[in-house]
Amino acid sequence: MSALNSPLFLGFERIEATLERVAKAQSDGYPPYNVEQTGPDALRITLAVAGFVEADLSVQIEDRQLAVRGKQDDEPGRVYLHRGIAARQFQRSFVLADGVEVTAATLSDGLLHIDLVQPSVEARVRTVEIKATRRIKDTDEMKGTHEMKNTSETKNAGEAKNTGRPAAKGREAPKAHKGIAIDDGSPKSGLRKTGERS
């Protein structure tokens, strides 16, 4: 089981497939190669490809995978009395990390040099805003409460209109009818109680 199958690694499925493909291609140890660091952000891959010329070699980048291929063809008309060096083909693959770029490829003295550069990556921090969402049930309850309140207020206003009197806000003072004096019991009223003579 690959370590990339862990649920903590998200989005690495393609990398895992690439690693499996490269592992299968590495069964053949030809051609031998070196990987060296030539600078703080620079790398060089060197493959021993003696007997190959530029036309026999190809360097391609396929989906973050560096593929080096070589193929030799037999020259027609050549007669060998003994042949210990056979024409052959090979494929060597390297997985590149994000940001790694191939800058040059040179062939010299039977050695294929491939130069790469990997710029330093700055750490980035981004805050993701968390948005709160209300549940539909709570929204419906609040809506029903407002509707009940509005209905009650409308009903009270209709009843007050039909009776012709406003809603009671407190006890009102007694009103005097025409020709009748009302004693409110205060000393300043100047009215005598019933049965008293003037």
Local confidence pLDDT in tens for the 198 residues of the chain: 566 667 777 777 777 776 776 666 666 688 999 999 999 899 999 999 988 999 999 999 988 889 999 998 877 888 888 888 777 889 998 988 888 999 999 999 999 999 999 888 777 888 999 988 876 655 566 666 656 666 666 666 555 555 555 555 555 555 555 555 555 555 554 555 444 554
- Domain ranges in the chain are 29-73+86-117
Token pair of 130 as six digits: 């968390």
The SS3 call for residue 53 is coil
Distance CA 2, CA 8 (A): 13
Q: What is the 3-state secondary structure (H, E, C) of 108-158?
A: ECCEEEEEEECCCCCCCCCCCCCCCCCCHHHHHHHHHHHHHHHHHHHHHHH
> Any idea which fold 29-73+86-117 has?
Immunoglobulin-like (2.60.40)
- Please state whether the peptide bond connecting residue 40 to the residue before it is cis, i.e. omega within 30 degrees of 0: no
Distance CA 198, CA 190 (A): 12
List of E strands, the chain: 33-39, 42-48, 57-61, 65-71, 89-95, 101-108, 111-117
